[in-house]
Amino acid sequence: MPQLGIQVRFFDYRDPSAIAKLIDDKTKAVYCESIGNPLGNVVDFSALADVAHAHGVPLIVDNTVPSPYLCRPFEHGADIVVHSLTKYMGGHGTTIA
């Protein structure tokens, strides 16, 4: 990402208020995974959305692991939701070696 001029900052998902200290005038979005890979941690979308929206930036949620059938981040304040189709179409999420 730095080669593209993009700086990424990480926060402890258990403390959504920690994001506020990382947001500045160049921040374009707050990004998280609904269920983190590989930890399996679950984030509080509503809390993250509240902090992001208070600073005027969208919350983007990668919802690949649970799928839109099991988890609907839009209902909890997410502005953009993405899924990795290769996990399902390519079999990467279903193959164990």
Ramachandran category for residue 28: left, alpha or beta (phi over 0 → left; psi -120 to 50 → alpha): alpha
Q: What is the DSSP letter of 48?
A: H
Class of domain 2-89: alpha beta
Rounded distance, CA 84 to CA 26, Å?
Answer: 27
pTM of the model: 0.84
Q: What is the pLDDT of residues 43-77, one digit of tens each?
A: 999 999 999 999 999 999 999 888 778 899 999 99
Residues 4-55: pLDDT tens digits?
Answer: 888 899 999 899 889 999 999 999 999 999 988 888 899 999 999 999 999 9
